């Protein structure tokens, strides 16, 4: 658990208008990511002593929007990130995820493990890219960045 009561997220919401309908596996993964993120995270706005924070993540005009709010729901800052640096990575990630979800039903355990290693590698790459793009705006640890990246992917799931 995070040691700071203020440098953390207390709620995370995905903008309903931005969400693509996912498969049962994807919806489950999103719910787990939100739960895990709220339970244990490190999240602070650079140059801001406030917190804890509420976060609304959305897509708007093909850009990623992080609407960071205070406990009362009042927006403190909105960070808008270009999705261009994420496009290839997201495409590769979804391709591997499709392969993984198909494999868990029919493939051998060693094949599933190999696909999952690739999936985790791409996920780690996405989390690192997200943390890099947030640098100077939002400070978060690697576990928080991983869970945030899971939610970014949730906004791109095709139903």
Q: What is the pLDDT of residues 85-136, one digit of tens each?
A: 999 999 999 999 889 989 999 999 999 999 999 999 999 999 999 999 999 9
Residues whose CB falls within 8 Å of the CB of residue 121, separated by 6 or more in sequence, listed in order: none
156 or 84: which leads in pLDDT: 84
Residue 86 and residue 125 in contact, taking contact as beta carbons nearer than 8 Å: no
DSSP labels, 60-128: ETTEEEEEEE-TTS-EEEEEEEESGGGHHHHHHHHHHHHHHHHHHHHS-HHHHHHHHHHHHHHHHHHHH
């Amino acid at each position: 658990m995070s040691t700071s009561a203020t440098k953390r997220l207390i709620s995370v919401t995905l903008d309903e208008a931005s969400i693509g309908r996912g498969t049962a596996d994807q919806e489950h993964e999103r719910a787990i990511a939100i739960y895990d993120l709220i339970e244990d995270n490190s999240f602070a706005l650079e140059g801001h002593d406030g917190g804890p924070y509420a976060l609304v993540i959305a897509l708007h005009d093909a850009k990623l929007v992080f609407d960071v709010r205070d406990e009362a729901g009042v927006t403190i800052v909105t960070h808008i990130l270009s999705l261009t640096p994420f496009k290839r990575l997201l495409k590769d990630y979804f391709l591997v995820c499709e392969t993984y979800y198909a494999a868990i039903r029919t493939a051998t355990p060693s094949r599933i493990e190999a696909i999952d290693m690739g999936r985790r590698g791409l996920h780690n790459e996405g989390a690192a890219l997200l943390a890099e793009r947030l640098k100077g705006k939002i400070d978060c640890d690697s576990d928080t960045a991983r869970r945030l990246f899971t939610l970014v992917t949730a906004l791109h799931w095709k139903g």
